[in-house]
Amino acid sequence: MGAGNGTLMLDILDYIRETQPDVYSRTRYNIIEISSSLASKQLSNLHRRVASAGHADKVNIINKSIFAWDTEVPEPCFFIALEVFDNFAHDVIRYDNTTLQPYQGNVVIDKSGDFFEIYSPDLDPWAAEFMKLRNRTLAGEYVPAWELGYHPLAQPKIWRGLKNSILPFRGNLSDPEYIPTRYLEFLHVLRDYFPEHRLLTSDFTHLSETIPGYNAPVVQTVMENKMIPISTYMAIQGFFDILFPTDFDLAAQLYTAVCGKLIKTASHREFLEVWAEVDATSTKTGENPMLSFYQNAAFMYS
């Protein structure tokens, strides 16, 4: 899902053909790509690089959103999603500082094109499902990942009240939390349409220069060849990238709750120390950039 230029696909198919030709003979590589432009680029690669590598009959490109998927795939498969979760949409939640009742944020745009947030105690189905699963999965207590900030439910009641007195126009609501509702919807797609899947995914555990809030995203755009971050997600659509970190401990527990399968998590370094040819990426000085880089990334695999 989201295969970019298809380079990893070529490497995977080359490796399987070289090391396990009997497995290669029955392997099919399906790309699910929501972007029409990337799907076209992948198709171009299929006719050029993939064909020249001898893999053309192995590859199928499906220009479709995974959230529009409606066909069951009963066969065993590996579902690969690398740097995909950071692009999944999230919902913003604030909690009543007295009762801790969640309020879901909505964005409205007036006739002048200005953005405004409004909060409602009526949660949409995916936000309500997330709250139910999180509370059930973690026995009613949410232990946040330290990289993602100070969770509003973990803040002392006296501190939440003090914030209200200092900022009286907050409406008695806590700091925001951004919840992975699109990720939860993705898990239901896996469960319902790919029952024999095994998942391999990697993404960012934390990001720098995020907007305020727990599990908050980076919102940025390019200006004069420089990446410029801004302090709000209420920006003109199509001109800004919005990237979210992933709480992998929570993601793993939600995966098990929805899909009914066990899954493992590992830091980028831990994963490569087990699965990579580490010696092949060591420098003459003994350093290994494959292990020392990407300290804000992790893997999850079933």
The string of pLDDT tens digits covering residues 32-63 is 998 888 888 777 776 677 778 888 888 898 99
Is residue 79 located within the same domain as residue 145?
no
Helix (H) or strand (E) holding 19: helix 7-19
213 within a domain of the structure (yes/no): no
219 within a domain of the structure (yes/no): no
Q: Of 136, 162, 179, which residue is a domain's last?
A: 179
| Strand, helix or coil for residue 285 | coil
Residues of the chain with pLDDT under 50: 140, 167-169
Residue 66: give the domain boundaries.
7-88+181-208+245-301
Query: Closest by alpha carbon to 117, among 213, 185, 207, 184?
Result: 213
- List the structure tokens of 112: 């002048």
* Strand 297-301 to 264-267 pairing: antiparallel
145 within a domain of the structure (yes/no): yes
Is residue 250 located within the same domain as residue 271?
yes
Is residue 55 located within the same domain as residue 159?
no
Could you tell me where the beta strands, DSSP code E, fall in 6-163?
29-33, 59-63, 77-82, 91-95, 102-109, 115-120
Is residue 59 located within the same domain as residue 121?
no
Give the integer Cα–Cα distance in Å for 204 and 218: 12
Is residue 34 located within the same domain as residue 49?
yes
Length of the chain (residues): 302
Is residue 23 located within the same domain as residue 156?
no
Is residue 175 located within the same domain as residue 69?
no
Is residue 25 located within the same domain as residue 140?
no
- Per-residue pLDDT at 159: 60
Give the integer Cα–Cα distance in Å for 74 and 77: 9
Cα three-residue angle 4-10-15, rounded to 5 degrees: 135
Give the integer Cα–Cα distance in Å for 83 and 175: 27
Is residue 200 located within the same domain as residue 268?
yes
Q: How far, CA to CA in Å, does 102 sit from each of 152, 168, 256, 276? A: 11, 19, 24, 43
46 within a domain of the structure (yes/no): yes
Residue 31's Cβ-count burial label (10 Å; 0-12, 13-18, 19+) is buried
Residue with tokens 């053309």: 56
Helix (H) or strand (E) holding 157: helix 157-166
- Per-residue pLDDT at 168: 47
Q: Of 159, 179, 199, which residue is a domain's last?
A: 179
Is residue 72 located within the same domain as residue 194?
yes
Is residue 97 located within the same domain as residue 81?
no
Number of domains observed in the structure of the chain: 2
Give the integer Cα–Cα distance in Å for 6 and 111: 42
Is residue 164 located within the same domain as residue 119?
yes
Give the integer Cα–Cα distance in Å for 294 and 256: 26
CATH number at residue 282: 3.40.50.150
